Amino acid sequence: MLKIENLHARVAGKDILKGLSLELQPGQVHAIMGPNGAGKSTLGNILAGREGYEVVEGSVTFEGRNLLELEPEERAAAGVFLAFQYPVEIPGVNNTYFLRSALNAQRKARGEEELDSMQFLKRVREKLAVLHLKDELLHRAVNEGFSGGEKKRNEIFQLALLEPKLAILDETDSGLDIDALKAVAEGVNTLRSPDRAFLVITHYQRLLDYIRPDVVHVLADGRIVESGGPELALQLEQQGYAWIKERIAPEA
């Protein structure tokens, strides 16, 4: 589904990704962990199509298409969900309106008919029920005054509504509380399905106490230096990253 091959990328003239390769099959959940500054968010930003990230070598293929040449909207239409491509806070914009716009933009880009408000509400109710969410988030402005947990529930709700084939989440180190981590994990666990894959980039070992990934990767010094099962996350929790760092040759 997603194939990243020998990805080299530069940010602000500095080499950050140095030959990263990764393959994700439908139905799988992969976690990417690694020491601070390793390039995890850089990878997420490149997949999201953010500006300022220069790919100098390698490829990213999603279902046979070159992901890197697609605009962010085209990526969404192709079925890629990038949590962080959505605005953090939009004061004054009603969340229901925002979610409907996002969904209809995706449908339009796919050449599908837009949903009218009745159809949209039906979809909303279904997804609220699946995720055991209350509808109070819908009536507020987008993320305005939301707690960390509410923001995460809203993000997962966006994900559920957009029904992506591939969901990429970057859980950055911005002080998520346990409530927020659980919201992410419950959402991922509930929305797992045989035709949907998740790439969960995380700074938090604890998140993987709640999500059971199929594969855990360690990103260090711009490459995947170790991959394994869920036990790898436990090992990292107990031993930290020192043993990983020892394997990386010091830079010249």
Size of the site for ligand ADP (CB under 6 A): 12
Q: Which is nearer to ligand ADP, 166 or 201 (CB)?
A: 201
H-assigned helices in the chain: 40-48, 72-78, 95-109, 117-131, 148-162, 178-191, 207-210, 230-239, 242-245
22-35 in b/e form (b: 16+ CB < 10 A) is bebeeebbbbbbbb
Only segment of 31-39, 126-134, 207-215, 238-246 that touches ligand ADP (CB under 6 A) = 31-39
Out of 6, 37, 56, 88, the only residue in the binding site for ligand ADP (CB under 6 A) is 37
Q: How far is the CB of 46 from ligand ADP (least distance, A)?
A: 9
Only segment of 32-40, 112-120, 144-152, 192-200 that touches ligand ADP (CB under 6 A) = 32-40
Only segment of 38-46, 68-76, 153-161, 224-232 that touches ligand ADP (CB under 6 A) = 38-46
Q: Which is nearer to ligand ADP, 28 or 42 (CB)?
A: 42
Contact between 41 and ligand ADP by CB under 6 A: the answer reads yes
Q: Which is nearer to Mg ion, 41 or 95 (CB)?
A: 41
Backbone φ and ψ of 233, nearest 5°:
-65, -40
Q: Which is nearer to Mg ion, 40 or 182 (CB)?
A: 40
The string of DSSP codes covering 108-171 is HHTTPPPP-HHHHHHHHHHHHHHHT--GGGGGSEETTT--HHHHHHHHHHHHHHH--SEEEEEE
**Tokens at 246, concatenated:** 């020892």
Q: Which is nearer to ligand ADP, 32 or 103 (CB)?
A: 32
Distances from the Cα of 194 to the Cα of 28, 32, 55, 185, angstroms: 8, 20, 31, 17
Contact residues: ligand ADP, CB under 6 A: 11-12, 16, 34, 36-42, 52
